Structure 1
Amino acid sequence: MYKRILVPVDNSATSRAALEEAKRFAKSEEAEVRLVHVIDLAQFAWSANEFLDVPRLQASLREGGQAVLKESTAAMQAAGITPDSAMLETWGGLMSEVIIEDAGKWNADLIIMGTHGYGGLKHVLLGSVAEGVVRHAPVPVLLVRLKE
């Protein structure tokens, strides 16, 4: 049923739980998997540039993202799945839009991602990439939460 599964990954426990769920889906459906990590290069650009080495901070974001992709790829390969992977960048855009755009370009038919499930003030302050994906994705989205 689902033959192309897109999995946004970061360095969170919920992301790792989503990766585990993606492994199960990919094996049972014999599906292709694409791992993506999104970074926002603009997050430091507006700050006090005279006090920060913005290019170095952006390079650090890229390095961290590559490490997350490498670790996630290794976890999939250990399960016998060879995923595609990509670092996606935005300059102040919504991460959810970047994920949805990539899912469309790659022809994903399912997105599996973790969610913290924050409500109230935390949700207002932190926003939700998962919520943005769920609201606007043209394909089904499976959200994975950790059991508390």
Structure 2
Amino acid sequence: MYTHILVAVDGSNTSRLALAEAIKLAHKQKTQVRLIHVIDQTMSAYEARGWVGAGAALEALLKAAQEAGVKVLEEASRICREAGLDIQTAMPKTVGAGIADILLEEAGRWPADLIVLGTHGRRGIQHLMLGSVAEGVMRRAKIPVLLVRGS
């Protein structure tokens, strides 16, 4: 049924649960899995416009985000390889565009026929303040989306 599953990973427990569900689906078919971790570099754009004065601190923060993203993808890749899956990885960066936008672009470019991602299930003011990548993907995706709720 699905031949290309895009799985968003961020290192959270919810992301691990989503990966586990994607692995279950992939085992049932000859499926290729693409793991994706998006790095949001929006703060660097603010710094470039002079909104933030601590350039060296910002550079260190972006480097740390890159290193953390590599670790997240390495861990998820290891889990998939141990499960015997055919995998690819991607770590796109975004400046200004939302993470949901990047996930949808990557899904279309690859092309994925299913997107799997975790959702924290925030409500009320938390949802309003933090937004929801999962909701953004779900509302605009032209392909099926599997949302896995965190525990």
Percent same amino acid at aligned positions?
45
Partner of 1:33: 33
Aligned pairs for 1:7-86 (under 5 A) are: 7-43=7-43, 45-46=45-46, 48-50=52-54, 52-86=56-90
> How far apart in 1 are the matches of 2:23 and 2:131?
27
C-alpha displacement at 1:56, in angstroms?
1.9
Q: Match for residue 102 of structure 1?
A: 106
Q: Flag the 1:51–1:6 CA change in 2: closer, same or farther, 3 A.
A: closer
Q: Provide the C-alpha distance between the structure 1 equivalents of 2:9 and 2:31, rounded to a whole number of angstroms.
A: 18
SS in 2 for 1:29: coil
Which stretches in structure 1 are left out of the alignment for 5+ residues?
none
Structure 2: which 5+ runs fail to align?
A: none
How far, CA to CA, are the matches of 1:45 and 1:53 in structure 2?
A: 14
Report the 3-state secondary structure (helix = DSSP H, G, I; strand = E; otherwise coil) of the residue aligned with 2:116: strand
TM-score with structure 2 setting the length: 0.92
Residues 115, 145 of structure 2: 8 Å contact kept: yes
Matched-pair contact (CA < 8 Å) for 2:8–2:117: yes
Query: Shift in Å at residue 42 of structure 1?
Result: 1.7
State the shift of 1:88 in Å. Answer: 1.0
- 1:48-99 C-alpha deviation (Å, 9 max, x unpaired): 3237522221111111101100000001111111310010100121000000
Q: How many residues align?
A: 147
Cα shift readout 1:102-143 (whole Å, capped 9, x = no counterpart)? 000001000011000111111001100000000111100000
Question: How large is the RMSD of aligned CA atoms in angstroms?
Answer: 1.4
1:35-54 residue CA offsets vs partner (Å, 9 max, x unmatched): 00001112355363237522
AA at the equivalent of 2:137: V
TM-score, normalised to structure 1, is 0.94
Residue 11 of structure 1, CA deviation: 1.3
